[in-house]
Amino acid sequence: MKDMRSQVYIWERSLAILPDTIFLDIVRNFIGKVPTPFHKPLLTKKLTTLFSTDEFLARVEASLSPTDRQLLSGAYVLGSPTQDELCSIFSDSISYATLQQSVVNLEERLLLVPNPDTFEHSAGLMINPLVVDRLLASSLSLEDIFVPSSDVDTPHYRFLGGDPRIVRALLSLHIHTMLGSREKSEKALTTKHIQNVFGQDDTPFIERVLLYNRMLFGEKVLIEQGRSTRIDINRAQLVLSKDPQELQLLLFQTAFASMQPQTPKIAKDLPFRAFFTILSTLLDTVPVHHHKGLKTACLMASYRSRLPIADMEEFLALLSTVGLAPMQKPKGNHTNQTHLQPTIDSDLTISFTEDVPVIENKDLLHCLAFVRKVDVVTSYEVNKATIMRAFDLGLTVEEILEYLEGLTQSIPQGLQNLIGHWKDEFSSIVIYDGILVKANERLSRIIEALPTLQPFLISRIADGMYLFSRSSEAQWREILSATGIGLLPRSITDAAHHSTSSIESSTVHTDMEMLRPIQEPIRLLAVRRPGKDNPTALEFQKELKKAILAKASNKGEQEEMLARLERKLILVPSQISAVQGRTQTMQASGFDFQGKINLCKAAVNSTVELLELHILDNDGNSQILLTEAKELINSTKDASIRVLVLPDGEEKVLPIEKIFKVRKLRRSIFFQM
Amino acid sequence: MNNMDDKPLIIQSDLSMMLDVHSPAAEDARNDLIAFAELVKSPEHVHTYAISAISLWNAASAGISVEEVLGRLEKWSRYALPEPVVFHIREIGGRFGCIQLLPYPENDDVYLLKIFHDRFVREIMARKQIAAMLTPVQEGFLIPRYQRGELKLQLIKLRFPVDDRIPLEHGEPVPVAFRETSSRGVDFVLRDYQKFAADSVLGNGGPGTGYGTIVLPCGSGKTIVGMEILTRLSTRTLILTTNVAAVHQWIAEISDKLDIDASQIGEYSGVRKEIRPITVCTYQVLTWRPDKDADFPHMRVLKEGNWGLIIYDEVHMLPAPVFKITAELQAVHRVGLTATLIREDHREDEVFSLVGPKRYDVPWSELESQGWIAEAECTEIRVPLPRNLEISYAIGSKREKYRIASENPEKMQIVKDLIDNHPEDFILVIGQYLDQLKIISKELGAPLITGATGNARRDELYRLFREGKERILVVSKVANFAIDLPDASVAIQVSGTFGSRQEEAQRLGRILRPKKQSSHFYSLVTRYSSEEEFSANRQKFLTEQGYNYHVEVWE
Closest CA to B37 of B47, B20, B49: B49
Spatial separation of the C-alpha atoms in residues B346 and A261, rounded to whole Å: 49
Closest CA to B144 of B154, B134, B153, B136: B134
CATH number of the domain that A597 lies in? Answer: 2.30.30.520
Which among A113-122, A194-203, B137-146 has the top mean pLDDT?
Answer: B137-146
Confidence of residue A204 (pLDDT cuts 50, 70, 90): confident
Look at residue A557 and tell me if it is in a domain: no
Q: So what's the pLDDT on residue B367?
A: 92
Look at residue A145 and tell me if it is in a domain: no
Please give the distance of CA A662 from its chain centroid, rounded to a whole number: 40
The answer to whether residues B438 and B535 belong to one domain is yes
8 Å CB contact of B551 and A373: no
Burial readout B372-410 (b: 16 or more C-beta within 10 A, e: otherwise): bbbebebbbbbbebeeebeeebeebeeeebbbbbbbbee
Of B93, B125, B151, the residue that ends a domain is B93
> Beta strands of B269-415 (E only): which ranges?
278-282, 309-312, 333-338, 358-361, 376-383
Residue A501: pLDDT over 50: no
Confidence of residue A386 (pLDDT cuts 50, 70, 90): very high
Name the residue among A337, A341, A346 with its Cβ closest to that of B43. A346
- Using left for φ > 0, alpha for ψ between -120 and 50, and beta otherwise, residue B219 falls in left
The answer to whether residues A223 and A313 belong to one domain is yes
Collect all residues of chain A within an 8 Å Cβ-Cβ radius of residue B80: 330-332, 334
Burial readout A499-509 (b: 16 or more C-beta within 10 A, e: otherwise): eeeeeeeeebe
The answer to whether residues A486 and A503 belong to one domain is yes
Residues in A lying within 8 Å of B, measured between beta carbons: 196, 199-200, 330-332, 334, 336-338, 340-341, 343-349, 351, 353, 373, 375-377, 383-384, 412-414, 417-418, 421, 425, 428
Look at residue B304 and tell me if it is in a domain: yes
The answer to whether residues A80 and A205 belong to one domain is no
Of A375, A395, A427, the residue that ends a domain is A427
Spatial separation of the C-alpha atoms in residues A63 and A165, rounded to whole Å: 54
Look at residue B267 and tell me if it is in a domain: yes
Look at residue A550 and tell me if it is in a domain: no
Which strand ranges, in their side-by-side order, compose the sheet holding B488-493?
A: B448-449, B472-475, B426-430, B488-493, B519-526, B376-383, B549-553
The answer to whether residues A187 and A266 belong to one domain is yes
The answer to whether residues B74 and B110 belong to one domain is no
Look at residue B183 and tell me if it is in a domain: no
pLDDT average, residue stretch A287-297: 89
Spatial separation of the C-alpha atoms in residues A342 and A251, rounded to whole Å: 27
H/E stretch holding A570? none
Residue B139 and residue B243 in contact, taking contact as beta carbons nearer than 8 Å: no
Look at residue B171 and tell me if it is in a domain: no
pLDDT average, residue stretch A148-175: 87
CA atoms within 13 A on the CB side of A587: 13
Residue A125 and residue A115 in contact, taking contact as beta carbons nearer than 8 Å: yes
Of A509, A525, A541, the residue that ends a domain is A525
**Best to test chain B binding among A341, A347, A416 (most B CBs inside 10 Å):** A347
The answer to whether residues A102 and A18 belong to one domain is yes
The answer to whether residues B87 and B106 belong to one domain is no
Q: So what's the pLDDT on residue A149?
A: 67
Closest CA–CA distance from residue B4 to any residue of chain A (Å): 10
- Burial zone of A442 (CB within 10 Å; 0-12 exposed, 13-18 middle, 19+ buried): exposed
8 Å CB contact of A353 and B10: yes
Look at residue B287 and tell me if it is in a domain: yes
Confidence of residue A22 (pLDDT cuts 50, 70, 90): confident
Amino acid at A528: R
Domain tally for chain B? 4
User: Inter-axis angle of helices A312-322 and A244-259, to 10 degrees?
Assistant: 140
Closest CA to A345 of A318, A372, A364: A372
β-pairing verdict for B358-361 and B211-215: parallel
DSSP for A80-143 reads S--HHHHHHTTTTTS-HHHHHHHHHHHHHTTSEEE-TTTHHHH--EEE-TTTHHHHHHHT--GG
Closest CA to B427 of B488, B477, B478, B483: B488
Residue A649 and residue A85 in contact, taking contact as beta carbons nearer than 8 Å: no
- Burial zone of B228 (CB within 10 Å; 0-12 exposed, 13-18 middle, 19+ buried): buried
H/E stretch holding A432? none
Residue B357: helix, strand or coil by DSSP? coil
- Which range of residues forms the domain containing residue B149? 99-160
Strand partners, B281: B240, B268
Look at residue A119 and tell me if it is in a domain: yes
CATH number of the domain that A73 lies in? Answer: 1.10.10
8 Å CB contact of A376 and B13: yes
Residues in chain B: 555
Cis peptide before A66 (omega within 30 of 0): no
Residue B363 and residue B33 in contact, taking contact as beta carbons nearer than 8 Å: no
Collect all residues of chain B within an 8 Å Cβ-Cβ radius of residue A343: 45-46
pLDDT of A352-364, one tens digit each? 998 888 888 888 9
8 Å CB contact of A428 and B552: no
- Which range of residues forms the domain containing residue A393? 343-427
Confidence of residue A333 (pLDDT cuts 50, 70, 90): low
Rg (CA), chain A: 35
The answer to whether residues A31 and A124 belong to one domain is yes
Sign of CA dihedral B529, B531, B533, B536: negative
Q: Which residue of B has its CA nearest to A424?
A: B528
Q: What are phi and psi of A447, to 5 degrees?
A: -60, -45
8 Å CB contact of A377 and B552: no
Cis peptide before A647 (omega within 30 of 0): yes
Residue B351 and residue B315 in contact, taking contact as beta carbons nearer than 8 Å: yes
The answer to whether residues A279 and A309 belong to one domain is yes
The answer to whether residues A507 and A371 belong to one domain is no
Residue B275 and residue B233 in contact, taking contact as beta carbons nearer than 8 Å: no
The answer to whether residues A400 and A462 belong to one domain is no
The answer to whether residues B88 and B104 belong to one domain is no
CB neighbours of residue B451 within 10 Å: 10
Write out A22-44 in H/E/C secondary structure.
Answer: HHHHHHHHHHCCCCCCCCHHHHH
Closest CA to B51 of B20, B82, B78: B82
Q: So what's the pLDDT on residue A396?
A: 92
Of A75, A107, A140, the residue that ends a domain is A140
Of B67, B93, B119, the residue that ends a domain is B93
The answer to whether residues B270 and B341 belong to one domain is yes
Collect all residues of chain B within an 8 Å Cβ-Cβ radius of residue A383: 536
CA dihedral B51, B57, B61, B67 (to 10 degrees): 70
CB neighbours of residue A534 within 10 Å: 18
The answer to whether residues B225 and B358 belong to one domain is yes
- Per DSSP, B252 falls in state H
Look at residue A246 and tell me if it is in a domain: yes
Closest CA–CA distance from residue A194 to any residue of chain B (Å): 13
Helix, strand, coil: what percent of chain A each, to 5?
Answer: 50, 15, 35
Amino acid at A91: S
The answer to whether residues B464 and B396 belong to one domain is yes
Q: Does B552 touch chain A (CB under 8 A)?
A: yes
Residue B480 and residue B503 in contact, taking contact as beta carbons nearer than 8 Å: yes
CATH number of the domain that B320 lies in? Answer: 3.40.50.300
The answer to whether residues B466 and B501 belong to one domain is yes
Collect all residues of chain B within an 8 Å Cβ-Cβ radius of residue A348: 543
Of B35, B61, B93, the residue that ends a domain is B93
Per-residue pLDDT of chain B (555 residues; tens, 9 = 90+): 455 567 999 999 889 999 999 899 999 999 899 889 988 999 989 999 999 888 898 888 888 999 999 999 999 999 989 888 999 999 999 999 999 999 999 998 899 999 998 999 999 999 999 999 999 999 999 999 888 888 988 898 888 888 888 888 888 999 999 998 888 788 888 999 999 999 999 988 888 889 999 999 998 999 999 999 999 999 999 999 998 989 999 999 999 999 999 999 999 998 899 999 999 999 989 888 888 888 888 888 877 888 999 999 999 888 877 877 777 778 899 999 999 877 666 676 677 777 888 889 888 988 998 999 999 999 999 999 999 999 999 899 999 999 999 999 999 999 999 999 999 999 999 999 999 999 999 999 999 999 999 989 999 999 999 999 999 999 999 888 767 888 899 999 999 988 888 899 999 999 999 888 899 999 999 998 999 999 999 998 898 888 989 989 887
Strand partners, B486: none
Look at residue B167 and tell me if it is in a domain: no
The answer to whether residues B78 and B103 belong to one domain is no
Look at residue B228 and tell me if it is in a domain: yes
The answer to whether residues A306 and A449 belong to one domain is no
End-to-end CA distance of chain A: give it in Å, rounded: 32
Collect all residues of chain B within an 8 Å Cβ-Cβ radius of residue A417: 550-552
Collect all residues of chain A within an 8 Å Cβ-Cβ radius of residue B536: 383-384
β-pairing verdict for B376-383 and B426-430: unpaired
Q: So what's the pLDDT on residue B352?
A: 73
Domain tally for chain A? 5
Look at residue A482 and tell me if it is in a domain: yes
Q: Does B470 touch chain A (CB under 8 A)?
A: no
Residue A192 and residue A168 in contact, taking contact as beta carbons nearer than 8 Å: no
The answer to whether residues B135 and B203 belong to one domain is no
Spatial separation of the C-alpha atoms in residues B16 and B112, rounded to whole Å: 36
Look at residue A281 and tell me if it is in a domain: yes
Look at residue A537 and tell me if it is in a domain: no
Residue A348: pLDDT over 60: yes
Look at residue B177 and tell me if it is in a domain: no
Q: Does B11 touch chain A (CB under 8 A)?
A: yes
Burial readout A372-406 (b: 16 or more C-beta within 10 A, e: otherwise): bbbbbbbbbbbbbebbbbbbeeebebebbeebbee
